[in-house]
Structure formats: structure tokens, C-alpha cells
Amino acid sequence: MNKYLLLPILTLMLITQLQADGRRYVWTYEYLTLHRGEAELETYTEFSHVDTDSGRLANATLQYEYEIGMNDRFDVGIYQKFKQTHTSFMSYDGFKLRARYRLGEKDRWFMDPLLYLEYKDNAAFDHSVLETKLILARDFE
């Protein structure tokens, strides 16, 4: 096989296995976890504060998340965070570990409860934060 065709063929094979996220909300949690064995790779990019004098961005943050379904109600996510300013190179900024657990099937109760636990720390490992949430979700039509 022609070596110049190998990369496009492998890329096409990978693309046919990828899917876009099916979530309906961007910054709100749905009553949703990945099914057992499913995995997701997400990227987040945020830009903030444009310096109007120089026209440069003051901050950019990148976050990569790998999420996997442990069973049909429980999933975990591992985040890696990076930051960059207009005066610095990209640098490691820390990590987050996240777990979500659905307490039942959708629409079992008036409000669908989801337990959320997140541990995060910075690159120096000197600023740990443990966050817990009870997420109550409900879709109306």
C-alpha cells in the first residue's frame, strides 16, 4: 500500500468512530452519566481579558477531560489543566478528579438526584479543594 494513503485511511477510520456530545446544556448538568465502558474526551478553551492597548490576550486556559463510565449509573473524569499568558509559555496548572452517581433512573422522582464529587489541586499540589454537590435535575418537555 502506498505510504501516503495510510495516514488518510487511518484518520478516516478514527473519524467514523467519533461522535459529538449528545448533551443539551453547556454549563448545566443533566441527569446523565456515561454507560459502563463508554468513554469521552472533552476539551475546554477559555480566553479572558484582551489587553486593548496591545491587542493581546492576557490569559488562556486549556482543560482536557477523559471521562469513563464505570457502570450504568457511575462515571469518573480526570481533568488536566494548562494556562498561558501573553508573557509566558503554556504551563501545567493542575488537575481535577470528578465522580458522578445517579441515584435511579430518569423521572423516577419529581427531581432526579445526582451526587457529584470533585477533588482539585494546582500544579504545586498546595491548594487542594474538595467539592460536593447534590444536583437536582428535571426536564419539562
Element (H, E) at 117: strand 112-122
- Separation CA 68–CA 33 (nearest Å): 9
Q: Read off the pLDDT band of 51 (50, 70, 90).
A: low
pLDDT at 60 over 80: yes
- Mean pLDDT on 130-134: 96
Domain presence at residue 6 = no
101 within domain boundaries: yes
| Domain annotation covers residue 73 | yes
Number of domains in the chain: 1
Residue 27 in any domain: the answer is no
Question: Considering the entire predicted model, what is its pTM?
Answer: 0.74
Which one, of 94, 137, 77, 82, lies nearest residue 113 by Cα? 137
Report the DSSP beta bridge partners of residue 101.
74, 115
Quote the pLDDT of residue 4. Answer: 67
Q: DSSP string spanning 63-87?
A: EEEEEEESSSSEEEEEEEEEEEETT
Separation between Cα atoms, residue 61 and residue 104, nearest integer Å: 35
Q: What is the mean pLDDT of the segment spanning 83-105?
A: 90
Cα(130)–Cα(26) distance, integer angstroms: 23
Please tell me which residue, 111 or 50, carries the higher pLDDT value.
111
In a domain, residue 58? The reply is yes
Q: What is the pLDDT of residue 64?
A: 93
Residue with more model confidence, 46 or 8: 46
Distance CA 127, CA 140 (A): 40
Helices (H), the chain: 3-15
Residue 36 CA to residue 136 CA, distance in Å, equals: 22
In a domain? residue 1: no
Range of the domain at 98: 36-137
Q: Does a structural domain hold residue 14?
A: no
Average pLDDT over residues 65-73: 94
Which uninterrupted H or E stretch holds 33? Answer: none
pLDDT, average across residues 36-57: 80
Lowest mean pLDDT among 46-55, 63-72, 104-113, 128-137: 46-55
Cα–Cα distance, 114 to 89 (Å, whole number): 38
What percent of the chain shows pLDDT beyond 90?
Answer: 42
In a domain? residue 127: yes
**The pLDDT of residue 118:** 97
